[in-house]
A and B are shown apart, each in its own frame.
Chain A
Amino acid sequence: MTNPPSIIKREGKRPSEQFERSKLHSSVRAACLSVRSPEGEAETIAKNVSEAVIAWLETKPEVTSADLRRKATAVLTSFHPEAAYLYKHHRLII
């Protein structure tokens, strides 16, 4: 990705930041590991989800963190629905 888009965080209440593939990768990987996926499978899924999200971001100069999470959840659901459930809901547990 030559020019990573800006991520608008919490509807602009926190400063925007550049998209980082590694952050997305590690959060998806952690969600997969949380549902006891094997490490290799978690890595593969995280890589596939990151690539799909990056392809979606190609034409966008900026997106909100909520949109990014929605897209990542949608892609993750096709690979691992249980991990996608935790990924989507982890902020709504408390």
Chain B
Amino acid sequence: MDIISSLAIVAFAALIHASFQLSVSVLTLMSGHAIGAKTAHTKLLRLTNGFLLGVLLMTMLLVAFICFVLQSSFGSHVPYVVWAVACGLLLGLGVAVWAFYYRKEKGTSLWLPRGLARYLGERAKATKQSGEAFGLGLSSVIAEFIFILAPMVVASLVLIQLEPMWQLLGIGLYTIISLLSLLVVNALIGSGHRLSGIQRWREDNKRFLQFASGSGLLILGFYVYVDQIVTATVTAHGGF
């Protein structure tokens, strides 16, 4: 696979990651509590930036960790069975996201264990320092791990086939693109938009976001399956 195709897959996987909403929900909730408690605007920005930094760092660490584990296990030549498992993960998660991502009630509640959701809600309310916001950012990525695992694994499988320099660039690219939705919400909050408007938009468009995330996972799974398994198998047997 050439470098452009590899980075395109990494970018697409990161876009799918960006469409998942837990971190955005936590950021919205944390900002709501901070604004409601008359926190000064500069301190609010410190909190949201601390949160963003936590998400950025944990995302980068997770992708780097998965790359390390996969490269230690398979080197730079990934067996077909591993690609097949990754495609299965993408397709299975895609169908699951279509069916279950949001709860069937008003608001933007996700299919997370309620205890975990309550904990994140309470932490968002209790967050007063940028260090706590940083920790909340780290935790929210962990809480979202079940959804972001598949795109991270596929991005990592693609990255470990590249030169080390391109691997670093790819990890950076994945991290930045996966943060896009948070960066947009952060900019809206920082520029003084009402949280009710942001939350109302999210609620009105939640089915579209759910459809986009699930479809993205299915498209990526199908593309990677054809590109890495079908094409490679046919070529190996002298076809085309």
Contact = CB atoms under 8 A, between A and B. Distances in A.
Closest 8 CB pairs of A and B: A92-B107, A30-B36, A82-B196, A34-B36, A94-B117, A34-B32, A94-B25, A33-B36
Interface of B: 22, 25-26, 28-29, 32-33, 35-38, 105-110, 112, 117, 120-121, 124, 192, 194-197, 199-200, 203
B196 A83 contact: yes
Contact of B109 (A29, A83, A86, A94): A94
A82 B193 CA distance: 12
Contacts of A90: 29, 32
A89 B26 contact: no
Interface centre among A33, A92, A93 (most CB of B within 10 A): A93
Contact of A86 (B38, B120, B121, B199): B199
Contact of A33 (B26, B38, B197): B38
A81 to B, nearest CB: 9
Interface of A: 29-31, 33-36, 39, 82-83, 85-86, 89-94
24 contacts: A29-B36, A30-B33, A34-B32, A34-B33, A34-B35, A34-B195, A35-B196, A36-B35, A36-B192, A39-B38, A82-B194, A82-B196, A89-B203, A92-B108, A93-B25, A93-B107, A93-B108, A94-B25, A94-B26, A94-B109, A94-B110, A94-B112, A94-B121, A94-B124
A85 B108 CA distance: 13
Main secondary structure of the interface of A (DSSP, over half): helix
A35 B22 contact: no
Given A89-B106, A94-B110, 13 more contacts: A31-B36, A34-B33, A35-B195, A35-B196, A85-B196, A89-B107, A92-B106, A93-B28, A93-B29, A93-B109, A94-B109, A94-B112, A94-B121
